[in-house]
Amino acid sequence: MAYTERLATIDPLIGEAFALAESAMLARRHKWSKVIFECNSLVVCNVVLSHEPCRFWAIADLVAHIRWCFGECSKWRIAWVPRRCNRLAHNLAS
């Protein structure tokens, strides 16, 4: 499945967090029980997986939502994928 949307932001951190939040909502809507989310932002991956409060105010609400979704679905995983390995998704989004 492919999806693309333009955001009114120039901050890649916000873009990556928004994409992860949107994909988590999509997976919940479709009741997908086993999902591996791939993200090319190591910062977003680490913040979502951390149990610490989010220290990036610009994505704090998105991170809270993502964490909530992941808490509801125990078989969901997030994996960091370097951009060079995720070229197709990057090209689709641009």
pLDDT of residue 91: 66
Angle among Cα 16, 31, 22 to the nearest 5 degrees reads 20
DSSP code per residue over 38-77: EES-HHHHHHHH-SSPPS-GGGHHHHHHHHHHHHH-TTEE
pLDDT of residue 4: 63
* pLDDT tens-digit map of 17-51: 999 999 999 999 999 999 999 998 999 999 999 99
pLDDT at 58 over 60: yes
Determine the Cα–Cα distance for residues 71 and 75; give it in Å rounded to an integer. Answer: 9
Averaged pLDDT of the chain: 88
Task: Provide the CB-side half-sphere exposure for 58 (13 A, CA).
Answer: 12
Determine the Cα–Cα distance for residues 94 and 91; give it in Å rounded to an integer. Answer: 5
pTM above 0.85, yes or no: no
Sequence ranges of the domains in the chain? 33-93
